[in-house]
Amino acid sequence: MGLFEKLFSSKKENDNMSNVNLAVVYYSSTGSNYQMAKWAAEGAKADGANVKLLKVPELAPKEAIASNPAWEKHLEETKDVPEVQLEDLEWADGFVFSVPTRFGNPASQFRQFIDTTGGLWANGKLMNKVVSAMSSASNSHGGQEATVLSIYTTMFHWGAIVAAPGYTDPVQFTSGGNPYGVSATVGENGIQEDIEEAVKHQARRTASVAEMVKQGVTAQ
């Protein structure tokens, strides 16, 4: 067992992370990334983190949404999920982002929200936040990894700390083995892989690293 794995294992056994604030922020048109975000929130909450499950605003025109019954249904079903605000980013010590890929990049709804964070960035409010990301596409090589890495590129500009899952737990190999962030293939019946435990591990890891960073900053 390596040094980080020992630290991570010790945190799970001895701490409930009650001082860590984690924002799970997602965009989902038909529900896959919403499901992934819910699993992430459940995983972090189980270890005692303070978690907010938040969606980015929908920007697509009503005509486009109405043309897809699954999209329209999901929008109605999640109408009570709070929309993410800039204040939520300032509140959080860490983030888990879950976003579908659109031609190898994050969905534009997510990008539009990220593009409003310039004021927080300019005032140093996003530095040292701990981040990981997840994505989905309609086929197994549909751009999920490129989407996750694109999100991380923005995080480097924030001065955030990327806590990708890597291969820190054997569960990564049962869910496709993506070391950058859990990815899903979505078919007519929803998510095709067994990724729930991998998602929960990624969220717990993100919260655990955020706790380490927060404790280190507090100790200075």
pTM of the model: 0.90
**Residue 95 and residue 21 in contact, taking contact as beta carbons nearer than 8 Å:** no
* 111 contact partners, CB below 8 Å, separation of at least 6: 105
CB atoms within 10 A of CB 102: 17
Looking at residue 37, its pLDDT comes to: 98
Q: What is the CATH number of the domain that holds 92?
A: 3.40.50.360
pLDDT band at 174, cuts 50/70/90? Answer: confident
CB atoms within 10 A of CB 15: 16
Q: State how far the Cα of 166 lies from the Cα of 180, in Å rounded to an integer.
A: 6
Q: Pull the structure tokens for residue 144.
A: 């999920």
Looking at residue 10, its pLDDT comes to: 43
- Which range marks the domain in which residue 147 is found? 3-219
Q: Total structural domains in the chain? A: 1
Task: Inform me whether the pLDDT recorded for 175 exceeds 90.
Answer: no
pLDDT tens readout for residues 46-60: 999 999 999 999 999
Looking at residue 138, its pLDDT comes to: 85
